[in-house]
A and B are shown apart, each in its own frame.
Chain A
Amino acid sequence: MAEITCEGRTTREINAEIKRLAASGEREIVVKNPGARHNIAVAVLQPARIRIEGSVGYFCAGLSDGPTVEIAGSAGWGLAESMLTGQIMVRGSAGNGAAAAIMTWATCPGCQVWVECTAWITGRWECPAIWAR
């Protein structure tokens, strides 16, 4: 298991570290003190398990292909946008546009986004919200 502390680092540095660890074969990555920052864990292309200990901002885990991301808090807008494959679990709420443009079942089985509290979907709140393709 590898740990990354967000404090004192730019988002670019955090994401580079997540990708470096995932590419080196690390199976379990814990991200501490995310502070509801935007763009955390974007474009991770390996099947690593990433646990984010707190809330994240916009576009978390977007453009990803393979990872399992657990968010121990809430997510802002555009969670898991354009994900190819992978699993996203949010223990809190998700903002507008969660799971937008995740790939279809026919091309990519195994895309899953799960929100424990509330998410805003096409004009209403859902609780819990699940997208599985």
Chain B
Amino acid sequence: MCGIVGFFDRTRDEQAEIGRTILGMLNALGCRGPDSAGVALFGAPAGRPLVIRVKLGEESAPAARVREISQLVESSGGASEFSTTGSYVRFRVDDKTDHQQLAAAIEALDPAFEVVSIGRKLEIVKQVGSPANLEKTYCVSHFRGSHGLGHTRLSTESRVDLSHSQPFWAHGYPDLAVVHNGHITNYHQLRRRYQQRQVHFYTENDSEIIGIYLAEQLIKGGTLEEALQSMLRDLDGSYSCLVATASQLAFVKDPFALKPLVVAETDRFVAVATEEIAIRSAVPGDYVVREAQVKEVRVWQR
């Protein structure tokens, strides 16, 4: 199973209640994925431009470990808004910071540390348990921004912990986040190919490879739409997949159309979800919800 949701505000409001909407949609899909819940939210810029979120461990980490990260960050150019909530450390760094190098240095401090998102707008929060628990720990509903993704997970092929939860950030590529419902059946083959090229995998979750694949296509110079079209050719299996960047929301549905996905599109918003109940229960108003078609790719741009 798994439940995926996406919401895209079209009113050019950078301060929309995106956290509240995504959480409302996720709550309706809690029963599709009781293992874990997560959100990827895109907010308005303030302060230093790059937001970095680091997972400290499955629970929280002792203050001494947090200090190690803060000292490391200070020595590499400094940070602002350094804070610790639940399992995460969050801070902002300058544009000039080599974020890939910094991420590698943080992850080298402790095998439990993982940089879960870097972006000018993107912030990822996920944990084991229900959407209601996610809200209790991180107050997701207070987040304001322009668009976002959400995921509730029912694990079928890999372990249940924070790192294996979704959304996945495409490690190394700022602001690219993915949620996926389905199975990538040529995952092991593709993973071996990437590993031969020294690509690091953080999990054994097949969904992780979607972000790696899309980042590769975007780095080559393709558009997101082109990347999703080629994904239909290169990734086998069943997938309804939502992708977001700093300015886009997109979906792709596999050639078998095995996984459900519905779409509502108006002048005010775009809402996409596994089940219509997610949209109806979180987005008021009168609108049509349609089913995504086989091999359909859509990209919405702000």
- Decide if B19 is an interface residue (CB 8 Å cutoff): no
- Decide if A4 is an interface residue (CB 8 Å cutoff): no
Q: Within the complex, what minimum Cβ distance (angstroms) separates B57 from chain A?
A: 37
Most chain B CB atoms below 10 A, which of A38, A54, A95, A118: A95
Q: Could you mark each residue 276-289 of chain B with 1 if its beta carbon is under 8 Å from any beta carbon of chain A, else 0?
A: 11011100000011
How many A-B pairs have beta carbons closer than 8 Å: the answer is 51
Inter-chain contact A77/B260, CB cutoff 8 Å: yes
Inter-chain contact A76/B290, CB cutoff 8 Å: no
- Decide if B72 is an interface residue (CB 8 Å cutoff): no
Report chain A residues within 8 Å CB of B256: 123
Q: Within the complex, what minimum Cβ distance (angstroms) separates B254 from chain A?
A: 12
- Decide if B70 is an interface residue (CB 8 Å cutoff): no
Q: Could you mark each residue 281-302 of chain B with 1 if its beta carbon is under 8 Å from any beta carbon of chain A, else 0?
A: 1000000111101100000000
- Decide if A46 is an interface residue (CB 8 Å cutoff): no
Assembly CA distance A93 to B280 (angstroms): 16
Main secondary structure of the interface of A (DSSP, over half): loop
Chain A: interface residue count, which band?
20 to 34
The interface size of chain B toward A, counting residues with CB under 8 Å, comes to 17
Q: A92-B290, A93-B290, A118-B291 are in contact. Are A74 and B276 (CB under 8 A)?
A: yes
Inter-chain contact A95/B280, CB cutoff 8 Å: no
Inter-chain contact B294/A76, CB cutoff 8 Å: no
Q: Within the complex, what minimum Cβ distance (angstroms) separates A126 from chain B?
A: 12
Q: Could you mark each residue 25-44 of chain A with 1 if its beta carbon is under 8 Å from any beta carbon of chain B, else 0?
A: 00000000001111000000
- Decide if A64 is an interface residue (CB 8 Å cutoff): no
Q: Within the complex, what minimum Cβ distance (angstroms) separates A97 from chain B?
A: 11
Assembly CA distance A123 to B255 (angstroms): 9
Inter-chain contact B291/A35, CB cutoff 8 Å: no
- Decide if B9 is an interface residue (CB 8 Å cutoff): no
Assembly CA distance A35 to B283 (angstroms): 11
Inter-chain contact A35/B290, CB cutoff 8 Å: no
- Decide if A47 is an interface residue (CB 8 Å cutoff): no
Inter-chain contact A35/B275, CB cutoff 8 Å: no
Q: Could you mark each residue 45-87 of chain A with 1 if its beta carbon is under 8 Å from any beta carbon of chain B, else 0?
A: 0000000001101100000000000000110110000000000
Assembly CA distance A121 to B256 (angstroms): 11
Inter-chain contact B280/A74, CB cutoff 8 Å: no
Q: Within the complex, what minimum Cβ distance (angstroms) separates A91 from chain B?
A: 11
Inter-chain contact A57/B291, CB cutoff 8 Å: no
- Decide if B257 is an interface residue (CB 8 Å cutoff): yes
Report chain B residues within 8 Å CB of A105: none
Report chain A residues within 8 Å CB of B294: 120, 124-125
Q: A118-B291, A125-B294 are in contact. Are A55 and B276 (CB under 8 A)?
A: yes
Report chain B residues within 8 Å CB of A123: 256
Query: Of the candidates B257, B281, B289, which one forms a contact with A74 in the assembled complex, judged by CB atoms under 8 Å apart?
Result: B289
Q: Within the complex, what minimum Cβ distance (angstroms) separates A74 from chain B?
A: 6
Inter-chain contact A38/B277, CB cutoff 8 Å: yes
Assembly CA distance A123 to B256 (angstroms): 7
Inter-chain contact B293/A35, CB cutoff 8 Å: no
Assembly CA distance A74 to B276 (angstroms): 9
Q: Within the complex, what minimum Cβ distance (angstroms) separates A117 from chain B?
A: 8
Considering only residues 227-270 of chain B, those with a C-beta below 8 Å from chain A are 256-258, 260, 262
Q: Within the complex, what minimum Cβ distance (angstroms) separates A99 from chain B?
A: 16
Inter-chain contact A76/B275, CB cutoff 8 Å: yes
Query: Of the candidates A37, A54, A92, A95, which one forms a contact with B260 in the assembled complex, judged by CB atoms under 8 Å apart?
Result: A95
Inter-chain contact B260/A57, CB cutoff 8 Å: no
B residues apposed to A, CB below 8 Å:
256-258, 260, 262, 275-277, 279-281, 288-291, 293-294
8 A-B pairs besides A35-B277, A76-B260 with CB distance below 8 A are A35-B280, A36-B279, A55-B280, A57-B276, A74-B290, A95-B260, A96-B257, A120-B294
10 sample A-B contacts, Cβ–Cβ < 8 Å, listed by A number: A36-B277, A38-B277, A55-B280, A57-B277, A95-B291, A96-B260, A117-B290, A118-B293, A123-B256, A125-B293
